[in-house]
Amino acid sequence: MCTRVADAATTPEVPGSKRAKRDAEGRMPLREHLRELRRRLLVSGAGIVLGAVAGFFLYDWLFASLAEPVLEFGSGDETRLTAIAFNAVGQPLDMLIRLSLFVGLVISSPVWLYQIWAFIMPGLKKKEKRYAIAFIAVSVPLFLAGIAMAYTLLPRAIEFFFQLNPEGTANVIDPSIYFTFVLHLFLACGIAMVIPVILVGINMMGIISGRQILNSWRGVVMLIAVMSALAAPGGEAVTMFFIMIPLTLLFAVAIGLCLLNDRRREKRERETLRPGASA
């Protein structure tokens, strides 16, 4: 039986509620895990689809905004040709669906980020649940901040790559290739900003300790440097550090919170094991 520890004293089962059934020790069987996971995935998917409906109406504006760095690069030089060209009959519909889903993913981020945390929260104590709710409120603006950061970096990335063109060549780009690059960049920056919050949540579940995260700081900093270099492909040190510094600070804050949570957990365990504590 796969178990998910919960505080039975603080999470009483309400008759007729849809809360997954737990035993006297607050544990859930694997089947209930899967049912709860399926339910939360369905809620997240419904939120993304509803957000995609809004994305349908924003499609023209979003397409023009994301294509602007490509079109502006050659606007001041008649010898340069830059364009985004559809080369298949159904490709405009494919772009409409993909960009609408991306908008739905961004708009519904409070929904699916909450579902991720809600799946974790039943395994936390009452006090730790309050922290988890606070982390939900933090993760949404961090995800949106990562998207905004990627949007500001996009013109620099396009300029760098286009300047590598040999003389007399043009950039006529397939929209599938271009928007795949753009969406991957946006999602990478958004998820990178949320990872520290997820680390704290995993620490609160007891899966990983703050000391383990701290011991791997060299690898984390190296990974952040690589991600920053990829997000700022112009090779400009200033741009790279503008990305690297906030990500490093976020990971440092996450490590500090994990260490504090470990200290509280150890103190609580010592008080529980102390003679006469149960009395």
Q: Which tens digits make up the pLDDT trace of 62-71? A: 999 988 888 8
Which pLDDT score is estimated for 37?
84
Domain ranges of the chain: 30-267
Q: Which tens digits make up the pLDDT trace of 143-197?
A: 888 888 888 888 877 887 787 778 777 888 888 888 888 888 888 788 888 888 8
Convert the pLDDT of each residue in 242-251 to its tens digit.
778 888 888 8
List pLDDT tens digits, range 14-68. Answer: 444 444 455 444 456 667 778 888 888 999 999 999 999 998 999 999 999 988 8
Tell me the HSE value of 249 on the side-chain side, using a 13 A CA sphere.
7
Q: What is the pLDDT of residues 226-246, one digit of tens each?
A: 777 766 555 556 667 777 888
Can you give the pLDDT at residue 73?
Answer: 76
Region class of 14: left (phi > 0), else alpha (psi between -120 and 50), else beta? beta
Distance CA 144, CA 192 (A): 11
Q: Is the pTM of this model over 0.75?
A: no
